[in-house]
Every structure is written in C-alpha cells, then in structure tokens.
C-alpha cells in the first residue's frame, strides 16, 4: 500500500507542476484530468480492508466525473470560446514553478505539524492535500483567464477530496456523492458563466473586468 | 592488474566517448530514412581538424588559446571522479560530486571567456545565453546529486553509484525515476542537444554552444569537439549509472550492461532529437527549471 500511495503522490505532484508551467489550456485540462484520476484512486488504495461497493462507487464516480466529464465540458468550452493559451499570466510560468517548490516545502512543514493530530492518515496524502489546495488557490489568483481559474477551483476540489478521504474514516456515501454533485454543478455554472462573459465582452481575461467600473 | 582496474572508467570514456555522438547521428539519420555518417565520423573529424593549422584573430589574447585546453583539462579531471560500470572512480572522496559540478562549471567558464575574448558580438551573445542557461542547469545537477546522496546515504560519487541497486529502486522508485529524468534533461541541456540548442547549425541566431566556438580552428576545434564528446559521456554515465544499476560480480557482464546502457542512451537522445523541434529561446529556461523541479520534487518526496 505505501508504495502505490508514493507513486500516486509523486505523479500527483508532477501534474501540479505541469499545471503551473503549461501555457496551453488544452494541455492543462488534460493534466487536470490525469490528476483527478490519480487522486480518485486514493480511496481504493487507502481503504485496503475491503474493496466494498462504497469505495468502488466513490472512486468510480470520481474518475468518471473528474477524469472524463469535467475535461470534456472544459475542452468543449475552450473550443467554443476560442482561446487556446494563457498569454500573459500575472505570475510568469518559471516563477509559478518556483512558487510550487516553495509551496511544496511549506505544505510539508504544515503536514508535519498536523500529522500528530491525524495519526491514522498516510503522511504523503496529508501533504498532497495541503499542496493541492495551495496550488489551486495560486492558480486562481495568478491567472488572467477565467477558464484557468475554473481549473484552479478543481485542483482545490481534488485537495479537499483527498483530505476528506484520508481523515474521515467513515463518511456516509450519500454525503460524499453529494459533494461530487456539488462540484459537478459548480463546474457547469462556472462554465456557463465563463461562456457568457466571453460572449459579452469578447475575452475571458479577468483583468478586463476592472474596466467595468461605472 | 589493479592499476588497470582503477583506470577502467577514464580509459573507457577517452576511447569510446567519440562513438557517442556517432551513434546519435546514426540514429537521427535512420529515423530520417538515410544511412548516415559512419560511427567513427566524429573521430575522423577530430583527426582532420588536428592536421590543420590554427588561425587566431588580431584582437585575441592568450585566453582564446587557453579556453579549449582548460575545458578539456577539466573534463579529463572530471573523468577521474566518475565511476562507471560499478568500477569505482580513480579518485573518490566525500563531497567529490560538488567538485565534479565545479569542474564542469570551470570548463564552461573557460569556454565563455575564450568566446568573449574574440571580441565578436555574435560570440558574446552565445556566451551570454550559455551562462544564462548554465545558471539554471547547475542547480538542477546539484539538486539531483543531492537527492541521490539522500537516497543512498553516501557522499562520494563512487559510493552513491555503488549504493544504487535494484533494491534501492524498489525502495525509492518515484525519487529515482524523477532524478533519472532530470539527468536525461541535463544531458540534453548541458550538451546543447536539440530541444535547447541545435548542434548541427553553425549559422543561426538562436544557437548557443556552437556560436561560442565559431572562431576556433584546427587543433583547438579538434579539442573542442573531443571535449564535447567527453561531456556527453560524463553526463550520460551519470544517467546510465542510475538507470542500469547492475552490480553483478562478473566485471564483463557489468561492463557490457553499462556500455549497452550508454548506447541505449545515445539512441534515446537521437530519437528525441528527431522527434522534437528546438524550443523557442524564451521557453528554454522553463524547460530547465522544470528539470530542476523534478529533482526537487524527488528530494521532497524522500523527506516524507
């Protein structure tokens, strides 16, 4: 079990760095899809006591939603809104990657502090969860493009999912699926909002929104 | 007998290094559907350049003459620190990996000084780019070596590569895979191979390493070409020592595995060069920082 968790952890971190360093939005969406699938496997690996229906349903639902459905919606949206790359983010790509390294170190430190309180959780996943939330927040504040901000939201969602799976031993299935449904609806609403913003203003650059002041 | 054993690694490198670019060129030609130059073509190029006289510009000083020699000297010194095929290096001491990085840096410094000394703005531009990318690539190399130090608990290159085995791979798979990827990228970056620089062009504004040596002729050029092959070998054997962790008792078998690893690496480099286009100059730092990040992630994963 620890070996497969370590592999998920390392690959998951790499997807985060890929998201930080890639300018093409299509590529970012595919990285996010891979990340979603990877972290959906955490409950399968973590609940090694039995691959019950609950765990399979949770992991399967996650994979379908984050690995297939969200990317499909986002790629469709990208095609409709006709932008393909983040031209000039507020923070450059090299600086973003360096931020990622710092964030990784900080989340490691936080996880060391947190772990005694949550001693039954695997340490790597605790650290990954904190890191994912940090990276998601960073993507939201550092990118101009509204679509990239949706991606940032989904990275945070991945982090929260991992945190929930490892810390809460027995969540009712209904609650977990409810959260998934929430994320699903959120992506749709955000997608529609982004679409209408681009339709109305001809750009998804959030920096332009400041010109709306009356 | 023992003396021979100690000099195995440098001898291998000095004799076989020129074959490395030969294999790369053959692979590129094969992928392109051509037959390609003979494997020994790099040796012939060196021999041809050695027979010629050297021409020096009026504005140059002794630095231009010293540059290639110092570069070759540092590379040969680096070979003495390098273990190969599980044969320990001639010289091994605690912290020799930093000396290795320092030697490579010194060689680069000499090349850059020689390029600046020619007074050509073209070469100055190449020198500036070389130093810019080296400033990013050297931390990546140090980070990768530091990660290996942490994996094996050893502080000299020979001990590190002796410590990397199949068991280590099973124990620290993600970290070692990440470090191996860093080494692979560094092999391309440090030797000015394709995603970073194009070794086949001599007259293009985006090139880096080739432009610095434009004013060198005759024996100097031979030394530079031979040095480039040695550098390919040095960084390549860092990768192969990690990727082919063979420590069987049979020296022939281990040596054959390591040499097969080097040939495989040359083919991989050739395929990468055939399949990829050179990055635009602004994307190169991103590529190198990405490589450094791989090593950093490997290091941090290990702390967990």
DSSP string, A14-63: HHHHHHHH--BHHHHHHHHHHHHHHHHTHHHHH-TT---HHHHHHHHHHI
Token digits of residue B172: 């620290």
Chosen from A5, A13, A112, A125 to mutate, greatest number of chain B CBs within 10 A: A13
pLDDT at B1: 40
A127 in contact with B, Cβ within 8 Å = yes
Residues of A in contact with B175 (CB under 8 A): 10
Residue B302 contacts A, CB cutoff 8 Å: no
- pLDDT digits 0-9 by tens, B245-297: 877 777 788 888 889 999 999 999 999 989 988 888 888 888 999 899 889 88
Q: Does B167 touch chain A (CB under 8 A)?
A: no
Q: How much is the pLDDT for B3? A: 56
pLDDT level of residue A123 (50, 70, 90 thresholds)? confident
Of residues B135 and A89, the one with the higher pLDDT is: B135
| Cβ pair B286:A94 closer than 8 A | yes
**Average pLDDT estimate for B52-75:** 91
Of A97, A98, A124, the CB nearest to B304: A124
Calculate how close chain A gets to B141, using CA atoms only, in Å.
16
8 A C-beta contact, residue B146 and residue B299: yes
Report residue A208 as tokens: 């332009």
Contact B189, B287 (CB under 8 A): yes
CB pairs under 8 A between A and B: 54
Alpha helices by DSSP H, listed for B55-94, are 62-80
pLDDT higher at B3 or A42: A42
Model pLDDT for residues B183-227, shown as the tens digit of each residue = 999 999 998 888 888 877 766 566 788 888 888 888 999 999 999
For an interface test with A, which of B181, B289, B304 has the most A Cβ atoms less than 10 Å from its Cβ?
B304
Mean pLDDT on B99-115:
94
């Amino acid at each position: 079990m620890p070996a497969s968790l370590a592999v998920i952890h390392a690959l998951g971190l790499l997807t985060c760095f890929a998201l930080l360093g890639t300018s093409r939005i299509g590529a970012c969406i595919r990285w996010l899809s891979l990340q979603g699938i990877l972290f959906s496997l955490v409950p399968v690996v973590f609940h090694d006591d039995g691959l019950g229906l609950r765990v399979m349903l949770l992991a399967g639902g996650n994979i379908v939603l984050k690995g297939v459905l969200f990317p499909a919606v986002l790629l469709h949206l990208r095609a409709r809104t006709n932008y393909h790359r983040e031209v000039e983010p507020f923070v450059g790509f090299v600086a973003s990657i360096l931020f990622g390294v710092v964030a990784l170190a900080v989340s490691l430190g936080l996880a060391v502090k947190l772990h005694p309180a949550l001693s039954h959780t695997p340490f790597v996943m605790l650290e990954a969860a904190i890191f994912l939330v940090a990276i998601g927040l960073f993507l939201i504040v550092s990118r101009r493009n509204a679509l990239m901000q949706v991606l940032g939201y989904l990275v945070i969602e991945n982090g929260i999912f991992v945190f929930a799976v490892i810390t809460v031993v027995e969540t009712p299935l209904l609650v977990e699926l409810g959260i998934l449904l929430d994320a699903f609806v959120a992506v749709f609403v955000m997608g529609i909002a982004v679409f209408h913003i681009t339709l109305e203003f001809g750009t998804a650059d959030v920096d332009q929104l400041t010109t709306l002041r009356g | 007998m023992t003396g021979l054993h100690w000099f195995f690694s440098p001898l291998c490198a000095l004799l076989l290094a020129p074959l490395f670019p030969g294999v790369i060129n053959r692979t590129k030609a094969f992928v392109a559907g051509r037959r390609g130059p003979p494997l020994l073509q790099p040796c012939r190029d060196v021999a041809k350049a050695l027979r010629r006289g050297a021409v020096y510009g009026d504005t140059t000083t002794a630095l231009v003459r010293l540059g290639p020699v110092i570069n070759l000297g540092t590379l040969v010194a680096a070979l003495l620190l390098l273990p190969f095929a599980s044969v320990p290096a001639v010289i091994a001491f605690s912290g020799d990996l930093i000396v290795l990085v320092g030697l490579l840096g010194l060689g680069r410094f000499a090349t850059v000084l020689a390029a600046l000394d020619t007074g050509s703005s073209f070469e100055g531009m190449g020198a500036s780019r070389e130093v810019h990318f080296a400033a990013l690539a050297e931390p990546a190399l140090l980070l990768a070596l530091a990660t290996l130090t942490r994996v094996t608990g050893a502080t000299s290159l020979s001990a590190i590569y002796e410590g990397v085995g199949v068991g280590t791979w099973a124990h620290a798979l993600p970290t070692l895979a990440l470090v191996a990827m860093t080494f692979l990228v560094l092999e391309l970056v440090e030797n000015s191979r394709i995603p970073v620089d194009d070794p086949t062009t001599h007259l293009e504004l985006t090139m880096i390493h080739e432009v610095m040596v434009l004013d060198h002729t005759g024996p100097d050029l031979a030394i530079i070409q031979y040095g480039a092959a040695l550098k390919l070998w040095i960084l390549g054997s860092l990768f192969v020592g990690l990727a082919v962790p063979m420590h069987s008792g049979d020296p022939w078998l281990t040596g054959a595995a390591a040499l097969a690893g080097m040939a495989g690496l040359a083919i991989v480099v050739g395929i990468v060069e055939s399949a990829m286009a050179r990055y635009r100059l602004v994307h190169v730092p991103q590529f190198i920082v990405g490589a450094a990040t791989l090593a950093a992630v490997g290091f941090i994963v290990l702390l967990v």
